[in-house]
A and B are shown apart, each in its own frame.
Chain A
Amino acid sequence: DAGVTQSPTHLIKTRGQQVTLRCSPKSGHDTVSWYQQALGQGPQFIFQYYEEEERQRGNFPDRFSGHQFPNYSSELNVNALLLGDSALYLCASSWDRSSYEQYFGPGTRLTVT
């Protein structure tokens, strides 16, 4: 049983560019949350997707957007990249009926130069 997978593992982008990160949830899970984790900090909630809709959002600007597909996989898009967007981006999946138990993917390390 595959756990949560994310791609790519690492990514280097230039300021002003756009990036798309991908996440496949654990088998049987229907809910995907995205987090940003800066070095030495805890993860910060970006948003959560359920039934292909964004159902809650954290304190992130509109440059951060997402999508969930019918197979429950998800994408995180970040436009107009800033140096401060450099971080580890984590995807976590859960089953809505038991949403307290989140499983995290290995993350995508984004570096903006």
Chain B
Amino acid sequence: GQNIDQPTEMTATEGAIVQINCTYQTSGFNGLFWYQQHAGEAPTFLSYNVLDGLEEKGRFSSFLSRSKGYSYLLLKELQMKDSASYLCAVREAGGFKTIFGAGTRLFVKA
């Protein structure tokens, strides 16, 4: 079966660090994505991991462990504008289909 699990909601304080976890079970694997989606807007691409390890891009980092079917998105120095939904998505192997999780709504408070 295909399943992507991530927490429904998280709350963190401005300036802090937050880690959003994602676990997946899919029919094959050809990369994991993280997207940010503000309410009423389109998802925007944050990161792509296809090999194990940590990818860092400014305040955002993404980690992947293929053997564990696990990824996390790390957001540092949180800002109020980081309040959004964060979507974990997996590209199936041998195809073009991307499967999305339901998203984690992050609330950043002052």
**Inter-chain contacts of A4 with B (CB < 8 A):** 42
B contact residues, range: 20 to 34
For B35, the closest partner residue in chain A by CB is: A104
Which A residues are CB-close (under 8 A) to B87?
A: 42-43
The residue of chain A having its C-beta at the shortest distance from the C-beta of B4 within the complex is A42
CB contact between B96 and one of A35, A42, A48, A107 (< 8 Å): that residue: A48
Contacts of A33 in B (CB 8 A): 96, 98
**Given known contacts A90-B43, A107-B42, A100 and B91 CB-to-CB distance under 8 angstroms:** yes
C-alpha spacing A32/B98, complex, angstroms: 13
Instruction: Assign chain A's interface to a size class.
Output: 20 to 34
Contact of B42 among A42, A99, A106 (CB under 8 A): A106
Q: Which residue of A lies closest to B8 (CB)?
A: A40
The answer on a CB contact under 8 Å between A43 and B43 is: yes
Q: In the bound complex, do residue B41 and residue A106 qualify as a contact, i.e. CB atoms below 8 Å apart?
A: yes
Q: Give the chain B neighbours of A101 by CB distance below 8 A.
A: 45, 48
A44 within 8 A of B: yes
Say whether, besides A104-B44, A107-B42, A40 and B96 are in contact (CB < 8 Å): no
Least CB distance from A102 to B in Å reads 7
- By a beta-carbon cutoff of 8 Å, the part of chain B in contact with chain A is 4, 31, 33, 35, 41-45, 48, 50, 87, 89, 91, 95-103
Q: Give 8 A-B contacts (CB < 8 Å), ordered by A residue.
A: A4-B42, A41-B103, A42-B101, A42-B102, A45-B100, A50-B96, A58-B97, A100-B48
Given A100-B50, A101-B45, A107-B42; 15 other pairs, CB 8 A cutoff: A33-B96, A33-B98, A40-B102, A41-B103, A42-B100, A42-B102, A43-B100, A44-B100, A48-B96, A55-B96, A58-B97, A101-B48, A102-B98, A103-B45, A104-B42
Q: Which residues in A have some Cβ–Cβ distance to B below 8 Å?
A: 4, 31, 33, 35, 40-45, 48, 50, 55-56, 58, 90, 99-107
